[in-house]
Structure 1
Amino acid sequence: MIIQYLSDFNCPYSYIGLNRVQTACDELNLDVEWEMKSFELEPKLTDSPINAIERYAIRNGLSIKDAEREINEIEQIARNEGLNMNYRNMQLASSKDAHRLVKYAERNYPNSTHKLILKIFESNFIKNENISDHRVLIKIAASCEMDEEEISEFIKRDSLRIEVDLDIDEAISSGINTTPYYFINYNDERLIVPGVFEKESFKIAFEDLISGEMKNKTFL
């Protein structure tokens, strides 16, 4: 099974959704090939972190109080999934270089890429590190058995930026303007799942796709 997913490291639902999909696959003992498609929700963010609650309020047209309430609800959903998310205190900054690093890993360290992605999410939402900081990204890469000096040289350059932007352009041209999105491929069948569904719903979808039942009913 090949699972492609459109995701952003600054999107809490991308983290929650990936965790649910991963858990569903593990519980079904599925052999999965993962591929992340980049989609920066806020490409104009800089390397200088801003307050997550204030930005959430502005982006969604909410008061600070309502933004805090909604962020608290998101954090609780994540905790129910086993993710000790601290969204309110995250250092919200550009995710561009993190996406570039994933593109590099896919080409040069394919066996470490999925682990790298999970660790970047953890760094951002749980450890509240600034993922636009090159030192943070190099540290994460090194923890995934990637050559520290090699990654340091890569991250200084601006390479693979176009590839990140092309992912976004392709998604927008297909009418997609948010994350996450999942494209689940099995043999000649493809299931597209927009948004975050419950783990059990993902499991049912995977089982139906494998058994061929997906052809006989509408799901999701």
Structure 2
Amino acid sequence: MVNLIFKDILIQKKTVMYMLLYIVFAIFFMQGVGSNALYVLITVTIAFTVSSGAFAIDEKYGSEKVMASLPITRNQMVQARYLSVFVYAAASILIMALIGAVANLLNVQFIKLDYITLAVIKKILVSCVLVTSISYPVYFKFGYTKARIASFIIFFAFFTSVVTVAENVSDGDASSFLSFINGLSSGSLQLVGGLVLLLIFVVSYFISINCYESKEL
């Protein structure tokens, strides 16, 4: 399992370099969305791009056919892909957290990032789970080339939603909304939300297994 994830990282050295350049671009040219939204956009974009890149490279070079001849089950391959999203997300969160911490400690004026918070990390993980749960079954069913347009639409919808909310919800509105949510019992709400999110992720996982096991390589 770990080797499969490590393999996906090694075959994407160029993609990783592009993502580092993307971080620089986003920090300088997308600061209008706000610090928290910027953290979410950058980290989820990195996780989604790297995970999608693994599908693209495998399809391009026929890696799936090679792995099918190895003592690796399709179930394990699907598991590795789903778990790898959290590896990419954790790596991108760490990088962005370090950038934010250094910017604040050194008082770098042109990098407008606050210290990353647990609330922001939760939003990143929720976003990664949702984007993954929707896009992965499509990848496993149709392959990257056929599914990339649908995948782009899914991610663009996510991207637009984050920017729209960041630009249209004022601090006062956000505070009022959060107070309303807290009044509904924060613990219960988070528990229900977490269970629903887990259900979505598990259902997506089993759909992907079913699609991949019935697919001809």
TM-score bracket for this pair, using the shorter chain length = under 0.3
Greater C-alpha radius of gyration: 2
Give the helix-richer structure, 1 or 2: 2
Query: TM-score, normalised to structure 1's length?
Result: 0.27
TM-score by length of 2: 0.28
